[in-house]
Chain A
Amino acid sequence: MSTAADIARAVRAGERSAREVLDAHLEVIDTREGEIHAFNLVLADEARAAADEIDRRVAAGDDPGPLAGVPVALKDNLCTRGIPTTCSSRILDGWRPPYDATVVERLAAAGAVTVGKTNLDEFAMGSSTENSAFGPTRNPRDPERVPGGSSGGSAAAVAAGFAPIALGSDTGGSIRQPAALCGVVGVKPTYGLVSRYGLVAFASSLDQIGPFSATVEDSALLLEVIAGHDPLDSTSIPEPVPPLVAALGEGVESLRVGLITELLGEGISPDVADRVRAAATTLEAAGAVVGEASVPAAGFGLSAYYLIAPAEASSNLARYDGVRYGLRVDAPTVAEMNEATRTAGFGDEVKRRIMLGTYALSAGYYDAYYGKALKVRTLIMRDFAAAYEQFDLLISPTSPTTAFRLGDKSEDPLSMYLNDVCTIPTNLAGHPAMSVPFGTGDAGLPVGVQVLAPALGETTMFRAAAVLEASAPTLEERSR
């Protein structure tokens, strides 16, 4: 399959039709979607109409934009006007947003063609996409294994060739971890670089939309399209989009790169750690100055995250009360109706986090839990700031292990939460980080290396990712 950059180039030049590109992808979906279940909804008819429109515009001499005719898959927590947006939850049953998310508008304006809405852990809460009300997604590299999560559907869609690019959302690693497990590129941009308007909130101070793709260049291209100030999001950064694609070839000569020591020890699978060290060697060979970096408070990130994120979620998810939209389970009084609706509409993990968060914010517990977690968050920011005085970039594993088997961790929430130990600190700091496939581990499963940068350091981060990609071993389809 072609990259998004190749497709857009060919479609804009009139060498390939958007329709032909789309049909090829729909065919792959037809062949493999039954097994993978990357999508909650495939929008074949809408996509064909959109592709035909792109072709008409090209024929008329228009330029449909930098993503002309490129099929894109959208995580199903991004609002699409008139099209069901479920968050893989029963509670949003039947709801069709009356508006498009800002990123969805920007994709359409750039000529991209939406092929479907992808599966996720319910309300983006999970690390395996097993917490979906509509059943799990499987990892295209090994369908016995999970694709990671919560954006498992988007990662799998790209890995399976259903679309060259996809959007996910990352609150504690929900783009990077599935990207690593599926062997694709996944980017969590600086908080505020991409508008959250139209992203159904999980934890507002941590959520960020970002790209998936098979290549580093495609993620850069996609991020350039969706990034940039949006007056509809008060936390959106009023700065111009940093140049990404143009800087990709600039290399890492004399860049200072730090290996985060705290994220290479206990709990990190040795095969994963080996690949991260190999990545360091690769960067060094390309001219970077590599050293050991310390972010001491990173070790407390997981604990802080599992107070802050659920606290915000408990408030963000209050609106699903059966009064205005989605599921309603009738009962004699309003309060009983609320309770019956939420009991029937939310899955176990969502309920668990709503309870955790409600508890953390309760009178008498706020200071000990939520308040303390905010302090840890400040410490993490301070430690990162200190590390970035010595280094331009940091690297670490994206996920402590390669893809695990379906059902392996779904009964043990704590072991599931540990999947995010390497990715969470960046969300708490609001910094960008991305996962780049860098060969395979013991079982021949993909390993992702995480490249971290300070706020708005995307340009440098992508340069290092491009260097890693250039010397990464090719991932082969595992025999099943």
Chain B
Amino acid sequence: MSESLAAAPAIIHSATTGEDWEMVIGLEVHCELATATKLFCSCPNQFGSEPNTNVCPVCLGLPGSLPVLNRNVVELAMRLGRALHCSVEPSVFARKNYFYPDMPKDYQVSQFDRPINVDGHLDLPDGSRVGIERAHIEEDTGKNTHAGAGGRIHGADYSLVDYNRAGVPLVEIVGRPDIRSGEQAKAYVDELRAILLATGASDAKMEEGSLRVDANVSVRPVGSTELGTRCEIKNLNSLRSLGRAVDYEARRQVDLLESGDRVRQETRHWDEEAGRTRPGRSKEEAEDYRYFQEPDLVPLAPDAAWLARIDAELPVLPAERRARLAEAAGVAAADAAVAVDRDLDELALSAIAAGADPSRVLTHVEHNLAVEGAADLDPGHLAELVGMELEGKLTATQAKQVLAEMVTSGQHPEAIARQRGFEAMDVGALESVVDGIIAASPAEWQEFVATTDEKKRGKLTGFFTGQVMKATKGQADGRAVNVLLNQRRAEADT
């Protein structure tokens, strides 16, 4: 279902065989929930504290200690689940058993066959939809630091473990393999981040590790419906890494397959400096996690009233905000994305409702309002500014300057324009300036009139406009100059 809606896939065309391949990407995103305390104890959930200070018998997994579920974790997990259009189900916790020094109990409490959130989806700004298989609750591990050997475990002199992060609540969001390009993968994570922030579920900082992305990548010939053998790419610390890593990995797999080799199912690590993925632990010899129901916790079954409250309190989500603005502005949803990203959609909607030209409003939001305080602009003032522009009372350049001052001073656009002495040139005055410039550059003018080369004409338009601006000290309206130049050219042609 989601596949038919997906954006245009990035086709990998093979120069050697002429075959076209597509990449198939499924993302697993771990995000730390923004609770005050940890998942199973009352230690602070805090980044950046002195090592091993936010710990207690429970999160250290000391013998005899027992977990107690943090209600707020369930609240945030449900909120996130509903924002991802998941169904919230009665769930149980399970133990995932494996040995690792950063894991105090040598098992991770997670959810396995009965996760809290199932079967949702995420709509991306480009109109594509990516399925969400599940979004379950689990505990984070501690963090190892290896001394010597460049920070790697092999050859390290010794290793230190910080358990501050152990027991921090995570939600793992498992996306379906509906993504077809590196760009779409980045858009997915970007959109997910917006939802995490909108719901207050997480601060979603990739650089602090509160949002961590693993990518399952495989390739297949275009037209095939089977899934190829996948590799899981880890160590993706930024959106840029994600895009580069999946593009690299898909290319690597295509090259392997075309040379008659096969893709081995394995975990690979992205090396940002080298710009390539490297093999890690092979999945074929991976451990058996021996999942079983966590006997120290009881099943989780949020009641209908709790769920109803969550739904009622859910904020309007980015996809819906884009759709609203797009409808009001008469543009595609993707064109409303920047306004929503900048939290300026309410401003734009109000300005449009006040009668402003939607396309000018969106242009200002996109190009001139990436500044602090923009959201506090009076939408009525913005509408008036756009009106002044359209009436020719302000040039585009002047409007930009007025707008900047509106943000800082909160003053009315007319007042600002007056103070600055911005008055639109009268059409007659502009005509005489333009005619003067044409007369002063006969060679360029001849060329401008004669050429059929679009590029050249554009360049010459720039030249004449520049001359006019210089002569009028920027007071001329660029669009009006353009109109005049074309008028004169048409006259000269006949």
Contacts and interface: CB of A to CB of B under 8 A. Distances in A.
A231 B97 CA distance: 26
A321 B106 contact: yes
Contacts of B61: 319
Contact of B60 (A87, A324, A335, A361): A324
A362 B97 contact: no
B296 interface: yes
B64 A98 contact: no
Nearest to A359: B290
Contacts of A99: 57, 62, 65
A332 to B, nearest CB: 11
Interface of B: 57, 60-69, 95, 97, 99, 101, 104-107, 153, 159, 161, 288, 290-292, 295-298
24 contacts: A79-B63, A87-B63, A97-B57, A97-B64, A198-B64, A201-B296, A203-B295, A233-B66, A233-B68, A234-B67, A235-B297, A312-B292, A314-B97, A314-B290, A315-B292, A318-B97, A318-B99, A318-B106, A318-B107, A321-B106, A323-B101, A325-B62, A338-B99, A366-B292
A78 B64 CA distance: 8
B298 A363 contact: no
A92 B67 CA distance: 21
A232 interface: yes
Contacts of B64: 77-79, 85, 97, 101, 197-201
Contacts of B161: 323
B292 A311 contact: yes
A95 B65 CA distance: 14
B175 to A, nearest CB: 25
- Residue among B64, B101, B291 with the most chain A CB within 10 A? B64
A123 B65 CA distance: 15
Nearest to B63: A200
A232 B68 contact: yes
A325 B288 CA distance: 26
Interface string A292-321: 000000000000000000011011001101
A325 B68 CA distance: 23
A143 B67 CA distance: 41
A234 B66 contact: yes
A78 B63 CA distance: 9
Contact count band on A = 35 or more
A205 B292 contact: no
B239 to A, nearest CB: 33
A92 B64 CA distance: 13
Given A318-B99, A325-B62, A312 B106 contact: no
Interface in A163-214: 196-201, 203-205
B38 to A, nearest CB: 14
A361 B296 contact: no
A324 B291 CA distance: 24
A246 interface: no
A319 B98 CA distance: 10
A438 interface: no
A287 B97 CA distance: 53
Contacts of B101: 321, 323, 334
Given A98-B62, A201-B64, A318-B99, 12 more contacts: A97-B57, A99-B57, A101-B64, A233-B68, A234-B69, A234-B296, A235-B297, A312-B295, A318-B97, A318-B107, A334-B159, A362-B288
Nearest to B106: A318
Given A315-B97, A319-B104, A201 B290 contact: no
A98 B57 contact: yes
A88 to B, nearest CB: 13
A324 B161 CA distance: 10
B66 A197 contact: yes
Nearest to B101: A323
Interface string A337-378: 010000000000000000000100111001000100000000
B291 to A, nearest CB: 8
Contacts of A77: 64
A85 B65 CA distance: 13
Given A204-B296, A234-B296, A324-B104, A319 B63 contact: yes
A159 to B, nearest CB: 27
A24 to B, nearest CB: 31
A235 B298 contact: yes
Contacts of B69: 234
A370 B292 CA distance: 9
A201 B95 CA distance: 15
B158 to A, nearest CB: 11
A323 B57 CA distance: 15
B109 to A, nearest CB: 11
B105 A319 contact: yes
A97 B63 contact: yes
A366 B289 CA distance: 12
Contacts of B153: 334
B99 A315 contact: no
A205 B295 contact: yes
A234 B107 CA distance: 18
Given A319-B104, A319-B105, A319-B106, A201 B97 contact: no
A338 B101 CA distance: 9
B367 to A, nearest CB: 54
Contacts of A334: 101, 153, 159
A92 B63 contact: yes
B295 A362 contact: no
Contact of B290 (A98, A235, A361): A361
A237 to B, nearest CB: 11
- Residue among B66, B67, B97, B159 with the most chain A CB within 10 A? B66
Contacts of A314: 97, 290
Contacts of B97: 314-315, 318, 361
Given A196-B66, A234-B68, A321-B101, A315 B296 contact: no
A351 to B, nearest CB: 16
A99 B101 CA distance: 23
Nearest to B96: A315
Contacts of B106: 318-319, 321
A361 B288 CA distance: 9
A198 B63 CA distance: 7
Contacts of B105: 318-319
B290 A97 contact: no
A97 B61 CA distance: 12
Contacts of B107: 315, 318
A318 B88 CA distance: 32
A235 B67 CA distance: 10
Interface string A63-107: 000000000000001110000010100001001011101000000
B65 A335 contact: no
What are the 6 tightest A-B residue pairs by CB atom distance, in nearest-first order? A318-B106, A205-B295, A361-B290, A204-B295, A200-B63, A79-B64
A197 B290 contact: no
Nearest to A321: B106
A309 B58 CA distance: 22
A234 B99 CA distance: 25
Contacts of B57: 97-99
A245 B296 CA distance: 30
A232 B67 CA distance: 7
A235 B66 CA distance: 10
B63 to A, nearest CB: 4
B280 to A, nearest CB: 16
A308 to B, nearest CB: 9
Given A205-B295, A318-B107, A361-B292, A232 B95 contact: no
Nearest to B287: A363
- Residue among B60, B61, B99, B107 with the most chain A CB within 10 A? B99
B292 A234 contact: no
A358 B290 contact: yes
Nearest to A231: B68
A363 B68 CA distance: 29
Nearest to B296: A204
A171 to B, nearest CB: 12
A232 to B, nearest CB: 6
A325 B101 CA distance: 12
Contact of B296 (A235, A321, A324, A370): A235
